[in-house]
């Protein structure tokens, strides 16, 4: 007799991470190319001495520090095992079986997977030709199925295209969609945005200064803070929504080393800002060169660039791999390339100059 598993999981293969190939430069996962700060290593070593104990399930110290940083109450913060787990918790907290989770496509590749494994259904709205989220079309799609939509993800800067949403676009969207639908502003790459796009936390209140209970901002320590391997992210939002997110938290899923590292990282903002500055300078250098080569690159506001290569994506991916550079390819759409250290970026540029010569 075959084991009984949920039939709706048939065909779902799980998340496919960026590849790591020995000897190749990995530019496939939007990680920081620089190792951890010395203060972070020190804090983890000290926390390691207490590793026989469970972590603080409420992440009290980190929560208090984040609340102070953003000028909010501690019940407006939830810490999670990476912001990806908070995405999952938000879906679980808002969507009943068969309800819809709306998002632009292409966007973060975990959204459809997390939606389906929660028993919900993706409502995917194509991005524009300029590779940006189409908030008018997304609002129309949400309104058309309003009773059945539990949550919307707005990813800004958008992974993998790097485009951001303007204040007018977000305000317009929030004014149009019903106020009982949760809108998640996924800002995993916020620290890299230099285009004056708004900080999602400003939408936690409406124009009259009244709190919105349906808006939540997601941030992570994985990207600008360089702690991808530790798995820690956080949500900022209204207590009414975050209490439901806390209800579906997997106990002790944020470990003690991650908490200690995130806490000290918040004391090292100057060093981290400098690191982010190096990435944004490198992003401009790489983007200019890709443009000069005549390649279809978007103006990214994140720590990666996006090449909308369409049907040429698979061949580009294979070429890069042959040249020992691992990018993240989405067949038929394009390739995302992480901005890393100047040396890694140079390796990518050398390979792509060859590609452009051949293409």
Ligand X SMILES: Cc1ncc(COP(=O)(O)O)c(C=O)c1O
326 has which bridge partners?
A: 26
CA dihedral 246, 250, 255, 261 (to 10 degrees): -40
335 has which bridge partners?
A: 307, 329
Judged by beta carbon, residue 201 or residue 355, the one nearer ligand X is 201
CB of 10 to ligand X, least distance (A): 26
Judged by beta carbon, residue 173 or residue 304, the one nearer ligand X is 304
| Binding footprint of ligand X on the chain (CB under 6 A) | 30, 82-84, 108, 155, 159, 186, 188, 220, 222, 228, 233
Give the largest Cα separation in the chain, rounded: 62
Judged by beta carbon, residue 227 or residue 295, the one nearer ligand X is 227
Backbone angles phi, psi at 50, to 5 degrees: -110, 25
Judged by beta carbon, residue 334 or residue 351, the one nearer ligand X is 334
Residues 342 and 118: their CA atoms lie apart, in Å, by 40
Backbone angles phi, psi at 97, to 5 degrees: -50, 130
CB of 307 to ligand X, least distance (A): 17
CB of 108 to ligand X, least distance (A): 4
CB of 72 to ligand X, least distance (A): 20
Judged by beta carbon, residue 55 or residue 233, the one nearer ligand X is 233
Judged by beta carbon, residue 25 or residue 254, the one nearer ligand X is 254
> Is the CA virtual torsion 70, 83, 303, 165 positive or negative?
negative
Closest alpha carbon to 160 in 298, 355, 14: 298
Judged by beta carbon, residue 82 or residue 226, the one nearer ligand X is 82
Cβ-count burial 17-30 (b if 16+ within 10 Å, e if not)? ebeeeeebbbbbbb
Query: Looking at residue 74, what DSSP letter applies?
Result: G
Residues 143 and 148: their CA atoms lie apart, in Å, by 10
Residue of minimal CB distance from ligand X?
A: 82
Residues 271 and 274: their CA atoms lie apart, in Å, by 5
Rounded (5°) CA angle 305-309-310: 130
CB of 209 to ligand X, least distance (A): 28
Cα–chain center distance at 121:
20
CB of 335 to ligand X, least distance (A): 15
Backbone angles phi, psi at 184, to 5 degrees: -100, 120
CB of 75 to ligand X, least distance (A): 21
Residues 204 and 214: their CA atoms lie apart, in Å, by 8
Judged by beta carbon, residue 87 or residue 351, the one nearer ligand X is 87
Judged by beta carbon, residue 19 or residue 323, the one nearer ligand X is 19
CB of 255 to ligand X, least distance (A): 14
Classify the phi-psi angles of 162: left when phi > 0, otherwise alpha if psi is within -120 to 50, otherwise beta. left
CB of 250 to ligand X, least distance (A): 14
């Amino acid at each position: 007799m075959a084991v009984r598993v949920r039939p709706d999981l048939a065909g779902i293969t799980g998340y496919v991470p960026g590849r790591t190939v020995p000897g190749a430069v990995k530019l496939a996962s939007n990680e920081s190319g620089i190792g951890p700060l010395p203060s972070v290593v020190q804090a983890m070593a000290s926390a390691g001495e207490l590793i026989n104990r469970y972590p603080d399930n409420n992440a009290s110290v980190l929560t208090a520090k984040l609340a102070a940083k953003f000028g909010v109450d501690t019940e407006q913060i939830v810490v999670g095992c990476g912001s990806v787990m908070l995405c999952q918790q938000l879906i679980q907290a808002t969507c009943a079986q068969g309800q819809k989770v709306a998002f632009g496509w292409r966007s973060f590749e975990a959204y459809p997977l997390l939606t389906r494994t929660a028993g919900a259904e993706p409502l995917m709205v194509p991005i524009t030709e300029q590779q940006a989220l189409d908030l008018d079309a997304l609002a129309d799609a949400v309104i058309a199925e309003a009773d059945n939509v539990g949550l919307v993800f707005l990813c800004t800067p958008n992974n993998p295209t790097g485009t951001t949403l303007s204040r007018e676009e977000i305000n317009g969207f929030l004014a149009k969609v019903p106020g009982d639908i949760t809108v998640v502003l996924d800002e995993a790459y916020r620290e890299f945005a230099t285009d004056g796009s708004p900080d999602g936390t400003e939408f936690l209140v409406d124009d009259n200064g009244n709190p919105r209970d349906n808006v939540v901002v997601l941030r992570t320590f994985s990207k600008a803070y360089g702690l991808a391997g530790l798995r820690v992210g956080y949500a900022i939002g209204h207590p009414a929504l975050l209490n439901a997110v806390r209800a579906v938290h997997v106990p002790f899923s944020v470990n003690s080393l991650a908490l200690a590292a995130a806490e000290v990282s918040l004391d090292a903002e100057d060093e981290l800002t400098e690191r982010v500055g190096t990435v944004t300078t490198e992003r401009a250098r790489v983007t200019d060169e890709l443009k000069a080569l005549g390649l279809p690159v978007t103006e990214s506001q994140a720590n990666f660039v996006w090449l909308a290569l369409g049907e040429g994506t698979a061949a580009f991916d294979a070429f890069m791999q042959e040249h020992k550079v691992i990018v993240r390819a989405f067949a038929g759409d394009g390739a995302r390339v992480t901005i890393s250290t100047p040396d890694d970026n140079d390796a990518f540029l050398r390979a792509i100059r060859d590609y452009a010569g051949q293409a």
